[in-house]
Amino acid sequence: MILSPSLLSADFGNLQRDIEMLNASECDWLHVDVMDGLFVPNISFGQPVIKHIKKHARKPLDVHLMIMDPGRYVGSFKEAGADILTVHYEACTHLDRVLHAIKDAGMKAGVVLNPGSPVSLMEDTVQLCDLVLLMSVNPGFGGQKFIENTYNKVRQLRDLCNRKNPECLIEIDGGVNLQNAHLLVEAGADALVAGNAVFASPDPMATIKAMKQ
Ligand code: DX5
Ligand code: ZN
């Protein structure tokens, strides 16, 4: 299981300290949430901050774009240091083109589905994906409650991937914690994002270790 702690819940005044903690921990990727205040109600940070994150991070940056028309910025997120770039199905008019652009730029490409978007929307693009991310909360904020229907969607997506792209990873984002992590893996998830569960815990390194087990 791949664990990708979300920096959205880190201390923005002490990002370097929190990144170094993640470097020393058992986590696999660093999840980086970009929000534009339009696709989602919140605004987080963009490429200039990611460049600084990249300077300190010793693990791949898993960049989740919650922005409208993300194809406009594929090149600049590559330049900022993204290793994996995920874009929302709901934010792209020409998803096939955007996925090709991400791969041509040398990054791993992923599509994100909101809780209200069915897995069947991925029938014609899952072949182009290195990963598909299922949102298990409505995106925009950390610390929200996990939506239980996600388990059904993980199983449906696993079937779809088995049929069309067995290499494709399934990632889950939102409300993931020590209680539901193993259930998600059992349902077929390969990668889990965790923000609040890691950073609001008394000992984030120990929580990461516990989640990995
Ligand atoms: C939500 C973001 C998530 C968020 C997860 O819009 O995409 O990555 O940071 O945070 P938790 O784990 O606290 O739900
Ligand atoms: Zn995210």
Mutate to test the pocket of ligand 1, among 114, 144, 147 (most ligand atoms within 8 A of CB): 144
Encode the chain (213 residues) as per-residue pLDDT tens digits. Answer: 999 999 999 999 999 999 999 999 999 999 999 999 999 999 999 999 999 999 999 999 999 999 999 999 999 999 999 999 999 999 999 999 999 999 999 999 999 999 999 999 999 999 999 999 999 999 999 999 999 999 999 999 999 999 999 999 999 999 999 999 999 999 999 999 999 999 999 999 999 999 999
Contact 134, 113 (CB under 8 A): yes
Q: Which of 37, 21, 22 is nearest to 139 (CA)?
A: 37
The Cα–Cα gap between 50 and 77 comes to 8
Is 142's C-beta closer than 6 angstroms to any atom of ligand 1? yes
Is 34's C-beta closer than 6 angstroms to any atom of ligand 1? no
Residue 69, phi-psi category: left (phi > 0), alpha (psi -120 to 50), beta (remainder): left
Q: Which of 97, 183, 89, 74 is nearest to 135 (CA)?
A: 89
Is 42's C-beta closer than 6 angstroms to any atom of ligand 1? no
- pTM flag (> 0.95): yes
CA 132 to ligand 2 centroid distance, Å = 12
**Cβ-Cβ contacts under 8 Å for 23 (sequence gap 6 or more):** 56, 57, 58, 59
